[in-house]
Amino acid sequence: MSGTLDISALQERLRRFAADRDWEQFHSPKNLAMALSVEAAELVEIFQWLTEAQSAELDDRTRAAVAEEIADVQIYLARLADRLSIDIPEAVEAKLALNARKYPADEVRGSAAKRSGHEER
Amino acid sequence: MSGTLDISALQERLRRFAADRDWEQFHSPKNLAMALSVEAAELVEIFQWLTEAQSAELDDRTRAAVAEEIADVQIYLARLADRLSIDIPEAVEAKLALNARKYPADEVRGSAAKRSGHEER
Amino acid sequence: MSGTLDISALQERLRRFAADRDWEQFHSPKNLAMALSVEAAELVEIFQWLTEAQSAELDDRTRAAVAEEIADVQIYLARLADRLSIDIPEAVEAKLALNARKYPADEVRGSAAKRSGHEER
Amino acid sequence: MSGTLDISALQERLRRFAADRDWEQFHSPKNLAMALSVEAAELVEIFQWLTEAQSAELDDRTRAAVAEEIADVQIYLARLADRLSIDIPEAVEAKLALNARKYPADEVRGSAAKRSGHEER
């Protein structure tokens, strides 16, 4: 559905956007991680009083609000990766391989227990 | 640097990964937003006691940890967008256009004030 | 159930704890806010794959994990307030008064809509 | 500075506040943990573009905004603990004892390394 995202081009545009506004001074990795987590929380905020079922059946206005927060997260994620020269597609590939080893389908089928944070860490 | 990310292909793989483990039942948009915010917080955790300067000069081990958390955020972001049929590249494009209107370079240059959450909202 | 919390005494102990470890240098309000949000995310992590019903019926081990994260949040909250000389009971009192005005019982009864972040802000 | 917080009384008021608005239906522990993390992120948002030094020298308006977010976190923390019958002062006491064992002053003095999330978990 979503096609491909040209992360290099996005990062180049974000670099120029920040430079034009003299905002590089604010864009330390520490600050960008904070900003990213704030945008993630704005996503959570949309869902916090909805049931799980309701969260899968959003009205158009709420869905548009979710799309905007998803964009914010994606933008800060690309910007943070750029500042640290981290290659997102490569990191995703490595993580998918790790997850496949960590959660063998036969062992974890249907179980959330194996996925809970306390087990996982 | 990061090239392009094939979000459609990633979403297809994540769909299969969840199906193989019977995990679709856990992947309501509400739960995925929570999981995404938890991964964002794991990014923040890496940076919380570092100075801004230190956050831009990570040792290899810490940089690898950041790459892994960035991958986790990207994975949940793709999965959430898939569950709600939200097109990430399109949402990003719309948000970049909005930001360009909202923060005219001439008016906000060098100023964080205009960007602070309390102003922004 | 929880009785009273002596926040002044807690803050005094946290001050000494930090001083004994030469950790005041890390405890800027900015860093403490980050740490607090990370602890809040660890709470979310415990609940992320549970249904709402399950979240109200925790086994002893999970309930103990929740208690520990609640303590972490309370500790960082007291420490942050101390660093900024913010009086927690006074701030809570002011916020309760504000909420009573903002959400008149007759108008918002049973409705989450009026509470959603997008309305609220 | 902050004196004592009567958590039992606060919880009783929050119970009544929710009951008067028929909001108990929304207050599952899962949802309250989400709401708490959103309020924690609103705290982070205030600090995200400030330097650590600036974060310790807030103007009155920003300090008032911080006080309001601190109150929100305290309120949701008390409400969540109430829903799970967790005793906050007791949980704090247990955590302080654990931290004293986990971070012996002689071993961790001046070092953030021992405190980083990756070590800690």
* pLDDT tens figures, D57-89: 999 999 999 999 999 999 999 999 999 999 999
Q: Is the pLDDT of residue C115 over 60?
A: no
Q: In chain D, which residues have their Cβ closer than 8 Å to the Cβ of B65?
A: 118
Asked if C58's CB is within 8 angstroms of D89's CB, the reply is no
Q: What are phi and psi of A5, to 5 degrees?
A: -110, 120
* Closest chain D C-alpha to C75 CA, distance in angstroms: 7
Answer whether D72's CB lies under 8 Å from D42's CB.
yes
List chain D pLDDT tens, one digit each, 121 residues: 459 999 999 999 999 999 999 999 999 999 999 999 999 999 999 999 999 999 999 999 999 999 999 999 999 999 999 999 999 999 999 999 999 999 999 999 988 755 544 443 3
Which member of A1, A29, A67 has the closest CB to residue B47?
A29
Asked if C118's CB is within 8 angstroms of A50's CB, the reply is no
Res. C111 pLDDT band, cuts 50 70 90: confident
CB count within 10 Å of CB C118 equals 12
Q: Is the pLDDT of residue B113 over 60?
A: no
Asked if A34's CB is within 8 angstroms of C65's CB, the reply is no
Which member of A37, A45, A118 has the closest CB to residue C37?
A37
Within a 13 Å sphere around the CA of B51, how many CA atoms are in the beta-carbon half? Answer: 5
List chain A pLDDT tens, one digit each, 121 residues: 459 999 999 999 999 999 999 999 999 999 999 999 999 999 999 999 999 999 999 999 999 999 999 999 999 999 999 999 999 999 999 999 999 999 999 999 988 755 544 443 3
Asked if A42's CB is within 8 angstroms of D34's CB, the reply is no
Q: In chain C, which residues have their Cβ closer than 8 Å to the Cβ of B45?
A: 38
Asked if C112's CB is within 8 angstroms of A42's CB, the reply is no
Rounded to whole angstroms, the Cα distance separating B43 from B70 reads 7
Q: What is the pLDDT of residues B46-60, one digit of tens each?
A: 999 999 999 999 999
The residues on B that touch C, with CB distances below 8 Å, are 26, 31, 34-35, 37-38, 40-42, 44-45, 47-49, 121
pLDDT of residue C110: 87
Res. C112 pLDDT band, cuts 50 70 90: confident
Which member of C55, C80, C105 has the closest CB to residue D20?
C105
pLDDT of residue B110: 87
Asked if D33's CB is within 8 angstroms of C68's CB, the reply is no
Asked if D34's CB is within 8 angstroms of B116's CB, the reply is no
Rounded to whole angstroms, the Cα distance separating C41 from B39 reads 9
What Cα–Cα distance (Å) separates residue D78 from each residue in A37, C9, C38, D7, D15? 24, 19, 18, 7, 10
Rounded to whole angstroms, the Cα distance separating B58 from B44 reads 14
What Cα–Cα distance (Å) separates residue A76 from each residue in A14, A90, D24? 9, 18, 36
Which member of C35, C44, C49 has the closest CB to residue B48?
C35
Q: What's the whole-number average pLDDT of chain B?
A: 92
> Over chain D, what HEC string results?
CCCEEEHHHHHHHHHHHHHHCCCHHHCCHHHHHHHHHHHHHHHHHHHCCCCHHHHCCCCHHHHHHHHHHHHHHHHHHHHHHHHCCCCHHHHHHHHHHHHHHHCCHHHHCCCCHHHCHHHHC
pLDDT of residue B111: 84
Res. C92 pLDDT band, cuts 50 70 90: very high
pLDDT of residue D114: 53
Nearest CA to B69 out of C26, D36, A121 is that of A121
Mutation target to probe the B interface, by most B beta carbons within 10 A, among A86, A101, A109, A120 is A86
pLDDT of residue A115: 52
Which member of D31, D37, D47 has the closest CB to residue A49?
D31
Nearest CA to B10 out of A11, A2, A51, D63 is that of A2
